[in-house]
């Protein structure tokens, strides 16, 4: 796969959706029942000569009375086999029970409903799963890819002309969490912030800083009509004054703000954006978001690389001149119209620089490029994908993830944000209000293509009831339990391998234990799904489910003061639960407290 014609459904790039398994599973410590069932079914289909089904579904039924695993495959096969689903299900049941591998892992195999085959795990399968998790240690759930990809993930990427607001915070949290998940799932991920430090918006920003600088020194230069009115610009101007005093004032008095190429305006633009960028880096860092590289747009222009890229496109015939401008031929690749690279005033467009940037990415040899953009840029997607396809000849090389917006509410009232008017709630303010953990958890809790309502007043007031604490509490609770184990029991922890026997009387026979183990055993697959579907919010949902199952288990199952074998195995279950919870929180960039 990978080299053939595009066959993706547009939601998952086919290059990334190859079959994979968690490390501890693929090492053979646990033979996943699911895979064994799939094997038996496909052998059966081949033997009978039936038409293959697209995927042999083996799922965890929502209803526990339907067993631990279930497959509806007989319903799908009925037509091709020309036999009643329940008859097929009975035959499959026999085949499953006759299989050496499955019979060991399975307690019961039942035919139910219109033709489902339901399986329940055997005690050895349950204890084997826990033993394998403990053996994997901190790496439990880490994925191994048959073909790991080196992915470049670009996100946040804004004009450095103002503080990051909560909309940016969402993309920062999403992108950072995604990078952690993809890396943990077995890919190699590099992250990058593209600094849009060039162009008209930045010139306007430079003028705005200059105006505030002049004003602070008693020269009445008004901030331009389309300039940046926010208070933070005054702070920047003040910072500049402490650095250079009034040494730029005279030049502003003479030259004013009009000439963008003047040394004064240029100075304020550059110094202003450096200060903003510094703050951005600090804010992101304290938010748990770091980048492998910060890539500045300006050198692409200064070093002539934008022009080189355009020349290359002209030479290949993908670009052409018309109406005093230069255009890129993007329509053959699904765009509505061709796009301008060089304006009739001879200045290159933002798009032209972005192409040069993406050419740079391609030349660095990544297998796959991912950009995360806000919904307000989605109209830009077809031209960018067209450009990368022209450069790479691979329509799937670039994947653009569109994140929907954040609606900021205050007591249910919508608050509009505008960087230019300086009306916004910043990332830093959000973190001050609710803390990093709650902010990150909340921002990735929902699917990225759902607009997110964030009520600041509510978030502030309910901070003690935030769902993040539910998960953190489960982790802290386990830590507390293990910390307070009596000496004899505490000694068990030094021999994790000996905690859970392969089989014993009373071992994991309660529903609470079984449900918890099943959920834990699902984790490696959850990681793969969250990574391949670019869906960090699944990790949140999973962590909540797991925490809930642990709380119920703990409420109903004594860990200490029961049969030694049962007691030891439950300590093992606590330990495995704690590790998986800690890993989930780590993937989300949320702390896993030992106590709270």
Partner RNA sequence: GCGCCUGUAGCUCAGUCGGAUAGAGCGUUGGUCUACGAAACCAAAGGUCACAGGUUCGAAUCCUGUCAGGCGCGCCA
Closer to RNA by Cβ: residue 113 or 422: 113
Nearest by Cα to 113 from 83, 80, 70, 82: 70
Say which DSSP state 360 is in.
Answer: H
How far apart CA 426 and CA 448 sit, in angstroms, is 20
555 touching RNA, by CB under 7 A: yes
Say which residue the tokens 């939601």 belong to: 11
493 touching RNA, by CB under 7 A: no
59-66 contacts, C-beta under 8 A, 24 or more apart: 60/518, 60/522, 61/118, 64/511, 64/515, 66/112, 66/116, 66/118
User: Residue 10 has which token pair?
Assistant: 């547009």
Give min distance, CB of 465 to RNA, in A.
5
435 touching RNA, by CB under 7 A: no
151 touching RNA, by CB under 7 A: no
Nearest by Cα to 92 from 22, 45, 162, 156: 45
Binder among 5, 261, 345, 365 for RNA (CB under 7 A): 345
Phi then psi for residue 271, to 5 deg, are -65, -40
Closer to RNA by Cβ: residue 150 or 558: 558
340 touching RNA, by CB under 7 A: yes
320 touching RNA, by CB under 7 A: no
Residue span binding RNA (CB under 7 A) among the ranges 91-99, 140-148, 241-249, 443-451:
443-451
Binder among 35, 90, 113, 392 for RNA (CB under 7 A): 113
303 touching RNA, by CB under 7 A: no
Closer to RNA by Cβ: residue 251 or 563: 563
241 touching RNA, by CB under 7 A: no
200 touching RNA, by CB under 7 A: yes
**Contact set for RNA, span 156-195 (CB under 7 A):** 159
- Grouping H, G, I as helix, E, B as strand and the rest as coil, residue 412 is coil
- Grouping H, G, I as helix, E, B as strand and the rest as coil, residue 484 is coil
Count the neighbouring beta carbons within 10 Å of the beta carbon of residue 435.
17
541 touching RNA, by CB under 7 A: yes
Closer to RNA by Cβ: residue 237 or 454: 454
Give min distance, CB of 545 to RNA, in A.
8
Closer to RNA by Cβ: residue 244 or 490: 490
Give min distance, CB of 335 to RNA, in A.
10
Say which DSSP state 536 is in.
Answer: T
Binder among 44, 295, 333, 351 for RNA (CB under 7 A): 351
Say which residue the tokens 């740079």 belong to: 360
Give min distance, CB of 136 to RNA, in A.
21
Give min distance, CB of 37 to RNA, in A.
12
How far apart CA 252 and CA 249 sit, in angstroms, is 5
How far apart CA 22 and CA 355 sit, in angstroms, is 37
Cα–Cα distances in Å, from 140 out to 23, 293, 416, 520, 581? 8, 29, 44, 10, 11
Binder among 15, 22, 67, 164 for RNA (CB under 7 A): 67
State the binding string over 9-48 for RNA (x if CB under 7 A, else -).
x-xx----x-------------------------------
User: Residue 214 has which token pair?
Assistant: 């002049």
Nearest by Cα to 250 from 237, 261, 240, 263: 263
Closer to RNA by Cβ: residue 14 or 142: 14
Asked if 188 and 148 touch (Cβ cutoff 8 Å), the reply is yes
Residue span binding RNA (CB under 7 A) among the ranges 69-77, 184-192, 492-500, 579-587:
69-77
473 touching RNA, by CB under 7 A: yes
Closer to RNA by Cβ: residue 388 or 445: 445
């Amino acid at each position: 796969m990978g080299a053939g014609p595009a066959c993706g459904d547009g939601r998952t790039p086919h290059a990334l959706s190859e079959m994979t398994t968690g490390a501890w599973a693929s090492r053979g410590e646990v033979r996943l029942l699911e895979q064994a069932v799939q094997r038996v079914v496909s052998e059966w289909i081949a033997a009978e000569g039936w038409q293959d089904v697209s995927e042999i579904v083996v799922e965890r039924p929502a209803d526990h009375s339907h067993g631990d695993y279930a497959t509806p495959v007989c319903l799908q096969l009925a037509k091709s086999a020309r036999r009643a689903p329940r008859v097929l299900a009975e035959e499959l049941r026999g085949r499953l029970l006759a299989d050496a591998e499955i019979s060991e892992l399975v307690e019961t195999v039942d035919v139910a409903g219109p033709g489902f085959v339901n399986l329940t795990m055997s005690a050895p399968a349950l204890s084997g799963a826990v033993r394998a998790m403990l053996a994997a240690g901190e790496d439990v759930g880490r994925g191994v890819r048959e073909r790991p990809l080196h992915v470049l993930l670009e996100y946040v990427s804004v004009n450095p002309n103002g503080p990051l607001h909560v909309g940016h915070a969402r993309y920062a949290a999403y992108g950072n969490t995604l990078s952690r998940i993809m890396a943990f799932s077995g890919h190699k991920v590099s992250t990058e912030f593209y600094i849009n430090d060039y162009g008209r918006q930045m010139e306007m920003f430079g003028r705005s800083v200059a105006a505030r600088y002049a004003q602070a020194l008693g020269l009445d230069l008004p901030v331009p009509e389309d300039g940046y009115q926010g208070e933070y610009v005054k702070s920047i101007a003040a910072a500049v004054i402490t650095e250079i005093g009034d040494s730029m004032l005279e030049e502003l008095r003479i030259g004013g703000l009009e000439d963008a190429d003047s040394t004064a305006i240029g100075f304020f633009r550059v110094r202003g954006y450096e200060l903003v960028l510094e703050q951005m880096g600090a804010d992101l860092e304290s938010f748990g978001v770091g980048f492998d590289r910060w890539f500045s747009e300006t050198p692409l222009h200064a070093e002539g690389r934008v022009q080189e890229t355009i020349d290359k496109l002209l030479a290949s015939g993908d670009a052409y001149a018309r109406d005093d401008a230069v255009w890129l031929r993007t329509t053959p690749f699904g765009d509505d119209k061709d796009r301008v690279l060089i304006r009739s005033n001879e200045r290159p467009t933002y798009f032209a620089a972005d192409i040069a940037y993406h050419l740079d990415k391609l030349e660095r040899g990544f297998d796959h490029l991912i950009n995360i953009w806000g919904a307000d840029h989605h109209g830009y997607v077809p031209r960018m994908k067209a450009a990368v396809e022209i450069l790479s000849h691979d329509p799937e090389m670039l994947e653009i993830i569109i994140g929907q917006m954040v609606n900021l509410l205050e007591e249910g009232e919508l608050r509009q944000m505008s960087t230019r008017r300086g009306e916004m709630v910043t990332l830093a303010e959000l973190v001050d209000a609710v803390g990093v953990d709650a902010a990150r958890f909340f921002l990735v809790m929902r699917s990225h293509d759902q607009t997110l309502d964030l009520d600041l007043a509510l978030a502030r007031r309910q901070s003690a009831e935030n769902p993040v604490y539910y998960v953190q509490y489960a982790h802290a609770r386990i830590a507390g339990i293990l910390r307070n184990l009596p000496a004899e029991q505490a000694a068990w922890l030094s021999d994790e391998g000996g905690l859970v026997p392969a089989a014993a009387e009373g071992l994991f026979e309660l529903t609470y234990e079984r449900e918890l183990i099943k959920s834990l055993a699902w984790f490696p697959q959850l990681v793969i799904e969250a990574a391949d579907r670019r869906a960090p919010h699944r990790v949140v949902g999973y962590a909540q489910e797991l925490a809930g199952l642990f709380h119920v288990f703990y409420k109903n199952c004594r860990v200490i003061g029961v049969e030694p074998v049962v007691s030891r195995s439950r300590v093992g279950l606590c330990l495995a639960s704690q590790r998986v919870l800690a890993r989930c929180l780590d993937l989300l960039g949320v702390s896993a407290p030992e106590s709270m």
